[in-house]
Amino acid sequence: MIVFPNCKINLGLYVTRCREDGYHDIETVFYGLPFTDVLEVVPATETKLHISGLPVAGDQTTNLVWKAYELLKEKYPVKIPALDIYLYKAIPMGAGLGGGSADGAYLLRLLNDYCQIGIDNETLAGYALQLGSDCPFFIYNTPQLATGRGEKMTPITLDLSPYSIQLICPAVHVSTGKAFQMLTPRTAPFALEKLNTLPIEEWKNHISNDFETPVFTQHPELAAIKQQLYTAGARYASMSGSGSAIFAVFNKGQKAEIKTEVEFKEFYT
């Protein structure tokens, strides 16, 4: 059985509070894009995780796909068989696109279907939260207003399919933990639940990503890429998550020709 875990972008991202448990409260809109990894399971005598494509940091036990398998195996030991799990990585890591979170959440979904367990989405989302704060989004995988650590989600009606989205993924790894340390929490300057009522050409005047200021200070080449996107006619451009990916929303069929000394991957809808 094969599935294709997709990435997400953040439309607006405000860090509003440093919590006593060490996490931060945020407000953002998660929006999925059709740039994917590949995840497959086949019957085996012993469970193994095989990773190809882009290199993945850490060992097997720290990978969210492996953790997702172990989580469901513990809860449903009779239903979850031994499997060869094949993960092909195409979504860059450390880019603010949630690729690892998507992989873990999709493995939960895949096992639920493959093993015919019958877990409802709400319960799956609860399991996904044990893997990471933004993992539950990929259980629903529809536009969501996210608050709390990112796990409290409310569906929001938003469709960017009439536009083209250009996603630039520079070879710059931004540590999420370090990015949080570089910013000061603040009250959200815009109510993101109203995002879908705001004309897209006004987004740049009302919504922003709190991580951009500290990350762009450390990596001015990212700010330069964002400016090139606007110069080429983007209706809206922003960094996703804590970076380093930069995306832009264009009129259908338009895009920018990016010039930078930094190596990058590009995706386009």
In this prediction, residues 16-24 reach a mean pLDDT of: 82
Contacts of 199 (CB under 8 A, 6+ apart): none
Contact (CB, 8 A) for 40 and 78: no
Q: What is the pLDDT of residues 158-169, one digit of tens each?
A: 999 999 999 999
Q: What is the pLDDT of residues 215-247, one digit of tens each?
A: 998 899 999 999 999 999 999 999 999 889 999
Q: What's the half-sphere exposure (Cβ side, CA atoms, 13 Å) at 173?
A: 9
Is the dihedral angle over the CA atoms 57, 75, 102, 115 positive or is it negative? positive
In this prediction, residues 72-80 reach a mean pLDDT of: 97
In the structure encoding, which two tokens stand for residue 186, read together? Answer: 């603040």
In the structure encoding, which two tokens stand for residue 104, read together? Answer: 């873990």
Q: What is the pLDDT of residue 18?
A: 84
Supply φ then ψ for residue 238, to 5 degrees. -165, 160
Q: What is the pLDDT of residue 16?
A: 93
In this prediction, residues 180-203 reach a mean pLDDT of: 91
112 or 23: which carries more pLDDT confidence? 112
In the structure encoding, which two tokens stand for residue 219, read together? Answer: 């990596």
Crossing angle, helix 64-75 and helix 121-129, to 10 degrees? 120
pLDDT tops 80 at residue 14: yes
- Which residues are known catalytic residues? 8, 134
pLDDT exceeding 70 applies to what percent of the chain? 100
Confidence of residue 178 (pLDDT cuts 50, 70, 90): confident
Q: What is the pLDDT of residue 85?
A: 98
Alpha-carbon 190 to chain mean position: 21
Q: What is the pLDDT of residues 25-73, one digit of tens each?
A: 999 999 999 999 999 999 999 999 999 999 888 788 899 999 999 999 9
Alpha-carbon 65 to chain mean position: 15
Domain architecture of the chain: domains with CATH: 2-155 (3.30.230.10), 163-268 (3.30.70.890)
Supply the mean pLDDT for the chain.
94
